[in-house]
Amino acid sequence: MEPSFWHDKWQLQQIGFHQPQVNPFLVKYWPQLAVNSSTEVFVPLCGKTLDMCYLAELGHNVLGCELSQTAVEDFFKENCLPVESKSKGEHQYFATEQVTLIQGDIFTLPQNITQSIDAFYDRAALIAWPEEMRQQYALQLAQLIPANVKGLLITLDYPQAELNGPPFAVSPQWIEQYLAPYFDVEVLECADVLADNPRFIKKEVTWLNEAAYLLTRKS
C-alpha cells in the first residue's frame, strides 16, 4: 500500500473511516488507563478524528501523526483552531494549544519524538494496514512507545475474504502473535457491531466485531 493511496483518499474525500463522533469505546474505557489528565497522549494515523478533541477536553496534550496534509489542515480548520507550522527534517509540525500534529510517514518518525508521552490511543492505525505492513507497524509502534506506557487499542475483525480493506480485519490471535511480545494485552470488550455498519451489511459480510484492548508496553 503506497502513500499515494491515502493521499488520494483524502484528496477525493473518500474517508468512510472517519467517524463523525467520538468513539464510544474511547469514552467508555479511557478511564481504565488511569493516566493523569495533564499527560501527553500519542495518536498514530490520527486523521482528523474528533477523538483528539475529546482527549484534549480531558486535559491531555495530544501528539498525533498523520500522513495526509489535507487531513491535518482539515482538523484545525473544522475545529476552528489557530495553528502554527514548522518543518523538522521530512516532517511538518502543526500546533495549537494542547494539540500537535506531525504530518509525514510514521515509519520514519524519530523515536525521541514520543519519549515524553504517557499514553497512546490507536483506533484507526492498526486496522489501516494490510498484513505485511501491519506487522511492520506493530514493530514501529513498539519502538515508539516507552516502557510501561499504557494505551487503548480499538480494532475491527471480520472474515477478510468477504471484503477488501481498509479497514482490515485484526483478530485476537493476530494481537497475541504480533503485539503480545511487546505489550501486556488485556481484552476490555468485544462487541458485535455489524448492525451499525451499513457498508459491511451491503457487502454481505457475515459478522463484524469491534474490540477494545488495554495495552501496556513491556519493560
pLDDT the model gives residue 20: 76
The domains of the chain are located at 3-11+20-217
User: Which CATH code, of 3.40.50.150, 3.90.76.10, 3.40.800.10, 3.40.50.1820, is assigned to 3-11+20-217?
Assistant: 3.40.50.150
Q: What is the mean pLDDT of residues 103-123?
A: 96
* DSSP string of the chain, one letter each residue: --HHHHHHHHHTT--TTS-SS--HHHHHHGGGG---TTSEEEEET-TT-THHHHHHHTT-EEEEEES-HHHHHHHHHHTT---EEEEETTEEEEEETTEEEEES-GGG--GGGGTT-SEEEESSSGGGS-HHHHHHHHHHHHHHSPTT-EEEEEEEE--GGGS--SSPP--HHHHHHHTTTTEEEEEEEEEE-GGG-HHHHHTT-S--EEEEEEEEE--
Count other Cβ atoms within 10 Å, centred on residue 13: 10
Q: What is the mean pLDDT of residues 59-65?
A: 98
pLDDT the model gives residue 9: 56
* Per-residue model confidence as pLDDT tens digits over 186-197: 999 999 999 999
Q: What is the mean pLDDT of residues 53-74?
A: 96
Cell digits of residue 134: 501491519
* Per-residue model confidence as pLDDT tens digits over 1-48: 555 554 455 455 554 554 678 999 999 999 999 999 999 999 999 999
pLDDT at 116 over 50: yes
pLDDT the model gives residue 167: 92
pLDDT at 92 over 50: yes
Q: What is the mean pLDDT of residues 96-119?
A: 96
Count other Cβ atoms within 10 Å, centred on residue 75: 24
pLDDT the model gives residue 10: 45
* Per-residue model confidence as pLDDT tens digits over 70-91: 999 999 999 999 999 999 989 9
- Given pLDDT bands bounded at 50, 70 and 90, which one contains residue 165? confident
